A = this chain, B = another copy of it.
Amino acid sequence: MNVPEIPFPRIAIVGVGLIGGSIALASRARNLCRSIIGVGRNPDRLNEAVARQVIDSAVLSIDSLEDVDLVIVCTPVDRIVENVAAILKATPRETLITDAGSVKSGICEQVLELDGGKERFIGSHPLAGSHQSGFEHATADLFVNRKCVVTPVGETSPELTETLTQFWKSLGMLVHTATPRDHDRILAMVSHLPHLVASALAGIVPESALVFGATGFRDTTRVAAGDADLWTAIFNDNSDQICAATSDMIQRLSEFRAALENDDRHAIQSLLQAGRENRNEFERLQQNSLKDTKQKSSPKKGPS
Contacts and interface: CB of A to CB of B under 8 A. Distances in A.
A247 B257 contact: yes
Contacts of A214: 127-128, 146-147, 190-191
Interface stretch (A53-61, A88-96, A203-211): A203-211
A137 interface: no
B200 A278 contact: no
A272 B231 contact: yes
Contact of A253 (B196, B219, B282): B196
B201 A249 contact: yes
B220 A252 contact: no
A268 B212 CA distance: 27
Contact of A243 (B128, B231, B257): B257
Contacts of A289: 211
B207 A268 contact: no
Contacts of A256: 196, 199-200, 246
10 contacts: A186-B212, A199-B256, A199-B276, A204-B249, A204-B252, A207-B281, A210-B278, A210-B281, A224-B272, A250-B253
A197 interface: yes
A282 B199 contact: no
A236 B45 CA distance: 54
A1 interface: no
Interface stretch (A12-20, A156-164, A259-267, A295-303): A259-267
Contacts of A260: 235-236, 239, 242-243, 246
A205 B186 CA distance: 9
Nearest to A201: B197
A200 B271 contact: yes
B236 A246 contact: no
A272 B232 contact: yes
Nearest to A185: B209
A86 to B, nearest CB: 24
A82 to B, nearest CB: 17
Nearest to A232: B269
Contacts of A279: 198-199, 202, 221-222, 224-225
B217 A283 contact: no
A261 B243 contact: yes
Contact of A212 (B127, B198, B217, B228): B127
A80 interface: no
A201 B205 contact: no
Contacts of A176: 211-212
A270 to B, nearest CB: 9
Contact of A268 (B146, B149, B236, B252): B236
A206 B189 contact: yes
A248 interface: yes
Contacts of A65: none
Contact of A205 (B128, B190, B250): B190
